[in-house]
Structure 1
Amino acid sequence: MNMGKSHHANCLSPKLQESLNFIQAHAGEKNFGPLLEKLLESRIELHPILFGASGRLKDFIYLDLALDSAVKTSIEKSFTVLSNAHLQELMSLVSLMLENLCLSTVNNEDLIYITKDWYRACDSYKPHDQQWSLHTKAVLDRIQLTLADKAQYYLKMMQPSAEYLGKLLRVESWAVVNFTEELIRAGSGATLSILVNRLNPIIRNIANLGSWQVISPVEVCGFIDCVNKLIDVQSKVFNRPTIIISNKVTGEEEIPDGVVGVLTSDMPDVLSHVSIRARNNKVCFASCFDQNILQDLQLKKGMKISVRPTPSGLAYSEVKSVCSFYPQKASFSPKGVMLKKKTFSGRFAISAQEFSSEMVGAKSNNIEYLRGRVPSWIKVPISVALPFGAFEASISAEVNKDLAKKVSFFNGLVNGGDIAKLQMIQDAILEMKAPFQLMSELKYKMRSSKLCWPGDEGEERWNQAWQAIKKVWASKWNERAYVSCRKAKLKHDDLCMAVLVQEVVNADYAFVSHTRNPISGNPSEIYTEIVKGLGETLVGAYPGRAMSFITKKSALQSPNIISYPSKPVGMFIKKSLIFRSDSNGEDLEGYAGAGLYDSVTINKMEKVVLDYSFDPLIWDKSYQRSIFQRIAEAGKIVEHIFGSAQDIEGVVKDGEIYIVQTRPQI
């Protein structure tokens, strides 16, 4: 057995042997700090050996498992002492448990970055400092997200085998059902979770955070129903005013018809699509961080309660009489919203100078209206579009006539109530062939607008672009959008889909700004959320919170940070084109269609695990102030140009501000 010169004959380095001797001599002592450090040192020293070729590998694996178990046991024994521990002592134990979990986990990149960020939080500790506590809270949130993600991974990986073997071996069903859960509880992650739960209320108290994050502050009354995922019931119609308690809210869902409130333990962004739609539809929407409150609400399933916003969050109480402040009916859809069906102009592609309300939607028209009206330091991407009617003309073309019949048939079934056929319509659209006239006109308009024509990079590149265009068209029939139209009593057949074509800015950061504070309604404040990479992780179904700040329009140079980022991943992309949905069913008065339809890039976005420990937007206060001031200033300028509050999407690249779309804030 050859383990290298640095090891004794028994394959243990002198440092590892010394640590193991210390552990043997001090096991069981009340002063557990030095013991924990030696246990961790032993695992670190042992780690390279586990990846080396050795006839005694099994022995080393068992030794590592024993050391891991000893770390867990030592900390759990100290829990009674820790009830009166200082904050820094608890933070130190979290540091040790994070390192220990890194050593126990394969594919641990996320845990390594969390550990780096946690050490920076420990090193920058400032007693009773709100900004420090907000950042520390974000790291704790990311730890919880990662632990939950790992638990789900183990459940999917191990539980099917447990159930298969359990059935063959006739193991009692309760043991089989709990098998993976008990394995997870026996691991270091469970101990870390207990420590985080002890720290959370302390940090929240320093940060002056209550038990609630109120996203849509509306007073409502309804009957409680409990679901695991909001998306599972998005197409359901509730026949009485309902307040849903949901474990999971991704940010992409449509709030079901008849629902007046959604309360969740999840952390959707304030400017995610579901949050915007909740505010527009006057649905109470809030995250709750107190498990005792959530459990109390879940125990009230079937009961009628009233929920009202308060200065510290939300208050709720049982009611026995009819709620006087909310109409008791199943549907609370906006009234008087109508779609005006668009006709095909005969052109398959148009330049930005040809944009009009009869040709394209508000997304295209608004971004073109900005060009030439904003100062030169605010960048606006070049655009062309496939106008209204281009889809209908394309599917009616001779090359697609069989698909047109198929889509028409399935659409009739959908209109008859069979929404399961929506997917078949989408699948059929993805089989369409491009009419020659469409390809020819789009090529000319893109080249004359100085946009790269994908066909110049080969036939396959054009095929990718055509597939992206079809995905945008097909998104008219996604379930979320269809349910939203039905709920708003819009005629789905009158919905027309233009496609806005732009070059993707390979962003360092992406942001969404509302120029009227969406939480308080204060018109003198701009509320912004910002993430690393592209904006998909902000507006879409990605866990964790964005960094957010509020800026007074009278003091643009003094942004107030109200949350730090906890999103584990960012989305990045190489130079590419994006095909944005631009329907006539978005941004209508009284109806927000934001995020219902798809925007698709040619290149696939790359998911990158994020390291915040040296992110200048967090740690370089001068850079942070400069970027935040310019984002807020851009928002103020755009609002002035349109003369009303705006919902703005933009990106930051090399310190430059780009506005990629804007719509009226509803």
Structure 2
Amino acid sequence: MGYKSEGEGFMVGVQINPVKGLPSGFPELLEFVLDHVEDKSPEPLLEGLLEARVELHPLLLDSPERMKDLIFLDIALDSTFRTAIERSYERLNDAAPEKIMYFISLVLENLALSIDDNEDILYCLKGWNQALEMAKQNDDQWALYAKAFLDRIRLALASKGEQYHNIMQPSAEYLGSLLSIDQWAVNIFTEEIIRGGSAATLSALLNRFDPVLRNVAQLGSWQVISPIEVSGYVVVVDELLAVQNKSYDKPTILVAKSVKGEEEIPDGVVGVITPDMPDVLSHVSVRARNSKVLFATCFDHSTLSELEGYDQKLLSFKPTSADITYRETAESELQQSSSPNVEGGHAPSVSLVKKKFLGKYAISAEEFSDEMVGAKSRNIAYLKGKVPSWVGVPTSVAIPFGTFDKVLSDGLNKEVAQNIEKLKSRLAQEDFSALGEIRKAVLNLAAPMQLVKELKEKMLGSGMPWPGDEGDQLWEQAWMAIKKVWASKWNERAYFSTRKVKLDHEYLSMAVLVQEIVNADYAFVIHTTNPSSGDSSEIYAEVVKGLGETLVGAYPGRAMSFVCKKDELDSPKLLGYPSKPIGLFIRRSIIFRSDSNGEDLEGYAGAGLYDSVPMDEEDEVVLDYTTDPLIVDHGFRNSILSSIARAGHAIEELYGSPQDVEGVVKDGKVYVVQTRPQM
């Protein structure tokens, strides 16, 4: 690179000589780095190293001469940066929060220079710097805001780690087998590569700072999602998803390292503890509360490690709305859990009534009845004209119960019907691989002309756009979406959920609620009684940017959350800023929502088991919260959150009971897309 070394000792006599193609002033920048490389105070060195890497970065993208030398120089700068940070750990032990945040900011920027596809990391850096400015100004929300970005950074690191593992580990396995490398060494190959990079340095700093943030923001070590007092045997698992269909023969408390949000609670499980952060209103959270299962996030790594050390031992857990205490207990103290999730418990008896095709392929909202559609459709029709005028309700039509069976029996679909019958026979023999094959078979159905005719008439008659008017392709997209909703009857979660409560899966009927999509700025879910505390005087809600699938689906990160007293609807209290990295957006379109006869049975948490499918694909957008008025404009945020709370309260008063409400916000206007009783 044009440098030479004279003398002995670390960096003694190193000189920097000009190299063709480098930015002007770059040699002086490297001289600055060399002059400060052994400073006790690392800030000037770190800033100089970052400046050098920033100057070098464009050259690495343009394939100049001596590319190999430039790459090695960049690696050397990165390595020196990491060494300087690690040398500073002890000095940071007693540092002020702003100092630690500044170091994290530097490491984030260094990481962004070390990876491609770094949009998420750059938005994390932008948000983190904004949080740092808030801290300097003594903003009372700075710690809560910084915590959201700390969580998002962790998600980004985990995602990158998984990406690197998928790229490198197969090669490590292959070469390890050829070279007879010990398997333990092969297993940790990618992990050790990551451990030697900037991501590991950043992770270490975040782990140091997380307790500080939680203390300042008064967040505690736990988020209790379902506060149920339980006793059970601890079982440590990697993923809740991997054991969701398992049955435990004694009361079990799972310590699950990963919970995505869409899983089922396994039979016999009375509690789930996780370091993961599912939304309080995610499907798994709702099902835990409905099943009277303890469900909580533990943010303290030492507590989590201690719990993992109790694997196979009997513990008692006593939660409050914000904390959990636990102790080891004797088997003689174990009381039979009253949870319906425990085998031998008395789950409420539920049953399905088989629905028949009543002669119509499509119906308008005025025709919705319990013989034709599920509670989702009936509730949305009931709201029309009854909610306050400032609350929008999208126009709806429906494809009623029995239509799937009618279409399947049509001569057009004879081969599909025969195939599905064969697959059902395999399913009856507990060949569960047939579930996926049935879903694929359903997608081969052809649409009878009468269905197309009636659906078109009802949609146009209700003022909705007809997909076929824009060409055959859009109708085919719509028809495929309808079939995907029908096919979701056979998704694994739904199928095993009905088996668990001994519902006859054959009796499950699927209507399809058809609505025009509101191209949302934000989406929300409201529980009009706080689900964590049971406080009926307080509304709890979660909000995401874009469409609501990132809230109710298994998308990583947390939503914005708030509570609001019903007698103070103008004063929502923010509980947490969002950490979800992805938002979903869509152009004007149609959505086809599942509306089964099994979604709102009393005593059965059937909501959310089946799919709702838009006609057009959503666009995934990496979110920049630093320019979002809901985040940065206090007045705007207060107005929107207050409007959401008011809408929830109005709907609760209309029904006279606690409600689980989903909706969106577009240009400041609140729309409610569905409501159901809060279980």
- CA distance 1:132–1:325, change in 2 (3 Å): farther
Q: Which moved more, 1:435-444 or 1:383-392?
A: 435-444
- Equivalent position of 2:576 in the other structure: 563
Give the equivalent residue in structure 2 for 1:24. Answer: 34
Match of 1:521 in 2: 534
Describe the SS at the equivalent of 1:113. helix
Q: C-alpha distance in 2, partners of 1:395/1:51?
A: 56
Residue from 292, 300, 308 that aligns with 2:302: 292
Q: Where does residue 341 of structure 1 map in the other structure?
A: 354
1:246 paired residue number: 256
The Cα of 1:310 is off from its aligned counterpart by 3.0
Aligned equivalent of 2:66: 56
Listed one character per residue, the Cα deviations across residues 435-475 of structure 1 (whole Å, up to 9, x for unaligned) are 12111111111111111111111112111111111110111
Shift of 1:94: 0.5
Does residue 1:209 correspond to 2:208, yes or no?
no
Residue 15 of structure 1: CA displacement?
Answer: 2.9
Contact map agreement 1:15 1:45 (CA 8 A) in 2: no
Shift of 1:298: 1.3
Which of these residues, 370, 377, 397, is aligned with residue 364 of structure 1?
A: 377
Of 15, 20, 30 in structure 2, the residue corresponding to residue 10 of structure 1 is: 20
Q: Which residue of 2 aligns with 1:131?
A: 141
* Correspondence for 1:93: 103
Length-normalised TM-score, structure 1: 0.97
- Corresponding position of 1:258: 268
For 1:568 and 1:286, locate their aligned partners in 2 and report how far apart those are by CA, in whole Å. Answer: 22
Alignment partners' CA distance in 1, 2:400 and 2:178: 61
1:106 aligns to what SS in structure 2? Answer: coil
CA–CA distance in structure 1, aligned partners of residues 255 and 615 of structure 2: 38
Mapped contact 1:252–1:541 kept (Cα < 8 A):
yes
Deviation by residue 1:197-252 (Cα, 9 ceiling, x = unmatched): 11100010011111111000001111111211111111111111111111111111
- Residue 545 of structure 1 aligns with an amino acid whose one-letter code is R
**Partner residue, 2:13:** none
The Cα shift of 1:8 comes to 6.1
SS in 2 for 1:209: coil
Aligned to 2:286: 276
The answer as to whether partners of 1:224 and 1:305 remain within 8 angstroms in 2 is: yes
In 2, the alpha carbon distance for the partners of 1:8 and 1:384 equals 73
The alpha-carbon deviation at position 175 of structure 1 amounts to 2.6
Alignment deviations for residues 552-585 of structure 1 (CA, whole Å, 9 cap, x no partner):
0100111100010000111111111100000000
1:466 to 479, 490, 512: 479
Q: 1:324 aligns with which of 319, 329, 335?
A: 335
Shift of 1:330: 2.1
Shift of 1:324: 2.7
Structure 1 window deviating more from structure 2 (266-275 vs 39-48): it is 39-48
Distance 1:323-1:126 versus aligned 2 partners, 3 A rule: farther
Cα displacement string for residues 387-429 of structure 1 (whole angstroms, at most 9, x for unaligned residues): 0000111101111122222222322332333322111211111
**Which residue is 2:646 aligned to?**
633
1:340/1:494 contact within 8 Å kept = yes
Identical columns (%): 56
Give the deviation of 1:127 after TM superposition: 7.9
Q: TM-score, normalised by structure 2?
A: 0.95
Tell me the distance in 1 between the aligned counterparts of 2:267 and 2:595.
24
CA contact (8 A) 2:105 2:128 kept: yes
Contact 2:227 2:321 in 1 (8 A): no
* 1:648 corresponds to 2:677: no
Specify whether residues 431 and 587 from structure 1 end up closer, same or farther in structure 2 by C-alpha distance, changes over 3 A only. Answer: same
Q: Distance in 2 between matches of 1:178 and 1:596?
A: 37
Change (3 A) 1:578 1:416: same
> In 1, Cα distance between the equivalents of 2:518 and 2:270?
38
Alpha-carbon distance, 1:153 to partner: 0.5
SS at match of 1:104: coil
| Deviation, structure 1 residue 33 | 1.1
Question: Which residue in the other structure is 1:389 paired with?
Answer: 402
Greater shift after overlay, 378-387 or 165-174?
Answer: 165-174
Gaps of 5+ in 2: 2-16
Looking at structure 1, the residues matched to 586 and 656 of structure 2 have their Cα atoms a distance apart, in angstroms, of: 34
Q: Which amino acid aligns with 2:337?
A: Y
- 8 Å Cα contact 1:8/1:14 also seen in 2: no
Aligned mates of 1:36, 1:243 — CA distance in 2: 46
**How many residues of Structure 1 are paired with residues of Structure 2 in the alignment?**
661
Deviation at 1:174, TM superposition (A): 2.9
Q: What is aligned with 2:79? A: 69
Q: What does residue 35 of structure 1 align with?
A: 45
Paired position in structure 2 for 1:612: 625
2:610 to 576, 590, 597: 597
Distance 1:164 1:405 in 2: 44
Contact conserved, 1:546 with 1:565, CA < 8 A, in 2?
yes
Deviations 1:359-399 (A, max 9, x none): 10000000000001012211100100000000111101111
Work out the CA distance in 2 between the residues paired with 1:169 and 1:237: 42
Residue of structure 2 equivalent to 1:485:
498
Q: Which is worse superposed, 595-604 or 77-86?
A: 77-86
Question: Structure 2 vs 1, CA of residues 593 and 470 (structure 1 numbering), >3 Å: closer, same or farther?
Answer: same
- In 1, the alpha carbon distance for the partners of 2:322 and 2:522 equals 31
Q: Which amino acid aligns with 1:201?
A: P
Deviations 1:229-286 (A, max 9, x none): 1111111111111111111111111111111111111000000011111100101101
CA distance in 1, matches of 2:491, 2:231: 31
Letter matched to residue 131 of structure 2: A
Contact 1:578 1:602 (8 Å CA) reproduced: yes
Paired position in structure 2 for 1:585 = 598
Q: AA paired with 1:511?
A: F
| CA deviation string 1:75-128 (max 9, x = no partner) | 101111211111111111001001101111100000111111011101111687
Distance 1:592 1:168 in 2: 51
Q: Conserved in 2, the CA contact under 8 Å of 1:273 and 1:539?
A: yes
- Inter-CA distance 84–25: structure 2 relative to 1 (3 Å threshold): same
Rounded to whole Å, the distance in 2 between the matches of 1:391 and 1:47 is 57
Counterpart secondary structure, 1:124: helix
Partner of 1:196: 206
SS at match of 1:215: strand
Q: Distance in 2 between matches of 1:400 and 1:325?
A: 51
Partner of 1:4: none
8 Å CA contact 1:221–1:241 kept in 2: the answer is yes
Corresponding residue number in structure 2 for 1:454: 467
Partner of 2:117: 107
Contact 2:338 2:346 in 1 (8 A): no
Give the distance between the partners of 1:409 and 1:160, measured in 2 at CA: 38
Residues 1:164 and 1:73: Cα distance change in structure 2 (over 3 Å): same
The DSSP-based 3-state class of the residue aligned with 1:417 is: coil
**1: distance between equivalents of 2:596 and 2:321?**
39
Aligned equivalents of 2:450, 2:21: Cα separation in 1: 73
Q: Is the alpha carbon distance of 1:228 and 1:333 closer, same or farther for their aligned partners in structure 2, counting shifts above 3 Å?
A: farther
Give me the whole-angstrom Cα distance separating, in 1, the residues matched to 2:670 and 2:514: 20
Secondary structure of residue in 1 paired with 2:627: coil
Contact 2:540 2:564 (8 Å CA) reproduced: yes
CA distance in 2, matches of 1:513, 1:593: 18
Task: Find the residue that maps to 1:590 and give its secondary structure.
Answer: coil
Please give the alpha-carbon distance, in whole angstroms, between the structure 2 residues aligned to 1:344 and 1:11.
75
CA distance in 1, matches of 2:19, 2:409: 79
Determine if the alignment matches structure 1 residue 501 to structure 2 residue 514: yes
Distance 2:80 2:438 in 1: 57
Alpha-carbon shift at residue 497 of structure 1 (Å):
0.4
- Contact kept? 1:129, 1:207, Cα under 8 Å: no
Deviation of residue 11 (structure 1)?
Answer: 2.6
SS in 2 for 1:613: helix
Instruction: In structure 2, give the amino acid aligned to 1:29.
Output: D
Q: CA deviation at 1:301?
A: 1.3
Deviation per CA, 1:485-517, whole angstroms, max 9, x where unpaired?
Answer: 111221111111000000111111000000111
* Cα deviation, residue 168, structure 1: 2.3
